[in-house]
Amino acid sequence: MTRRRVVVLLVMAGMMLAGCGGNRQSPKILGGNGSESHRVSGLWWLIFGLAAFVYLVVGGFIVLAAVRGRGTPAGRRSRITDHGFIWVGGIIAPLAILMTVAAFTVNTTSALRKPSSRELRINVVGKRWWWAVEYPTLRVTTANEIHVPAGQPLEFRIDSDNVIHSFWVPQLAGKMDAIPGQHNYLRFTATKPGTYRGLCAEYCGTQHAWMEFLVVVQTPGDFGRWATREQTLSNQSPSNEQQARGQVVFESSACAGCHRIRGTQAQADLGPDLTDVGQRTTLGSVRIPNTTGNLAGWIGNSQTLKPGNLMPPQYLSASDLQAVVAYLQSLK
């Protein structure tokens, strides 16, 4: 191999490996913090191991052939050994390896889809470009940030009311398409508390790249407290004058035509449910952190942050905007 070829190969390997490790925030495919991803990465390593083995053996023969050269002209004896070699190397070994892979794949696939009686059902709907989240048994609705208890089997029912999206949390489970007019189910158990990033894995329009979400895996106790808090939010009333004014502005302006805040006049579903927006850590499907400045900026003109999204700029006076921000922040 010439020196230039070696350099080119090294650069290419470096580029391929650059995708691994590093940024802790990025979703990892072989994370294995959910029952499903654990099984999938187990299968992945098995296939990788077998493939690497085959690669080394074949590579070894190629090296051997190159080193040995043609040698003496082929006689009768070597032809007979070639025969056995083709039977074993060309038919028996590939068959055994492929059948092993097939058996483990079928086994893994059926284990992934097995329903359990203790499941927590979560309905997720892919919107343009955000995720609506509902816990039918808990009577809780939220958006973009999905809280789940560790250790309990989860059943996600995935839908879309527009184009096809795909729900993917690499560290917890495989992808599941969100298809209009069809319920798809994704079952897994998250094992380790933490916040995991999810994303839309099917191109769905201009803001596809900003259609992310978070899965917040909590201990069962923390999750129970979160759910109880969510259930009481609709009985909450503003605790000061500014927040009360914010609520009036919200209910009497365009906001109420697109958003729902349980327990108020705002009961629309075009935008995310804002009943608990004060406890969310991000806005706009993980576009920006949920801070006072970002919240005001989003309401004023979210088009600069997420061009083409379905929320038009809102023209509020400075004091109305402040009041709405204070009101929304109190919803937690």
The contact set with ligand HEC (CB under 6 A) reads 129-130, 143-144, 207, 250, 253-255, 257-259, 270-272, 274, 277, 280, 283-285, 295, 298-299, 306, 309-312, 314, 316, 324, 328
Q: Which part of the chain contacts Cu ion (CB under 5 A), choosing from 39-47, 138-146, 194-202, 323-331?
A: 194-202
Give the nearest distance from C-beta 256 to ligand HEC in angstroms.
Answer: 8
Burial of 207 (0-12, 13-18, 19+ CB in 10 A): buried
Residue type, 32: G
E-assigned strand segments in 201-275:
212-218
- Of the candidates 151, 125, 164, 155, which has an alpha carbon nearest to the alpha carbon of residue 285? 125
CB of 286 to ligand HEC, least distance (A): 8
**Using CB distances below 5 to 8 A depending on partner kind, what does residue 246 bind out of ligand HEC, Cu ion, none?**
none
The sign one gets for the Cα dihedral 239, 240, 243, 245 is positive
Q: Among residues 173 and 277, whose Cβ is nearest to ligand HEC?
A: 277
What mask of x and - would describe binding to Cu ion in positions 238 to 277, judged by CB under 5 A? ----------------------------------------
In the chain, the amino acid numbered 266 is A
Cβ closest to ligand HEC, residue 236 vs residue 329: 329
Which is nearer to Cu ion, 211 or 299 (by Cβ)? 211
Strands 145-149 and 212-218: parallel
Using the rule CB under 5 A, is 165 a contact of Cu ion? yes
Q: Does 204 bind Cu ion (CB under 5 A)?
A: yes
Residue 60 or residue 308: which is nearer to ligand HEC going by CB?
308
* Residue closest to 321 by CA, chosen among 291, 302, 295: 295
- Comparing C-alpha atoms, which of 304, 291, 306, 300 is closest to residue 320? 300
